[in-house]
Amino acid sequence: MKKNALFALAVVAASFISSAAYAENPAWRSAVMKLIASKQSYPPAAEMRGDEGTAQVKLTIGAGGELTEVELVQKTGSLVLDREAVALPKRVGNFPAPPGGGTTVTIPMVWRLQ
């Protein structure tokens, strides 16, 4: 009985590790970031107040490229920018299918006034 339990844990651990590894695929990650950047703009309220910052956003992307969850894991210090960081990936729609199936990836979103 213990062998089956250990095997089941090993399979789950292997699935998690391989899924996380695909999120680090540079070409796929770059494509995800480019899609998000194409939709990014400066929220007028944040721009007027001079808000700047970098958010870290964790995306959960399904095997077919569908966005299933967005989580703000590092705030910018601006409520307006934080809200935009969570809303932005939802405006993209579908992402490229991750190699090897669904995965999570954490990406930075930067707002700087020039």
What pLDDT tens digit does each residue of the chain (114 aa) get? 333 333 233 333 333 333 444 456 899 999 999 999 999 999 999 999 999 999 999 999 999 999 999 999 999 999 999 999 999 999 998 999 999 899 999 999 999 998
Closest CA to 52 of 39, 60, 42: 42
pLDDT of residue 7: 29
Domains of the chain: 2-111 (3.30.1150.10)
Q: What's the predicted TM-score (pTM) here?
A: 0.76
Burial 23-47 (b: 16+ CB within 10 A, else e): bebeebbeebeebbeeeeebbeebe
Give me 16's structure tokens.
Answer: 């998690």
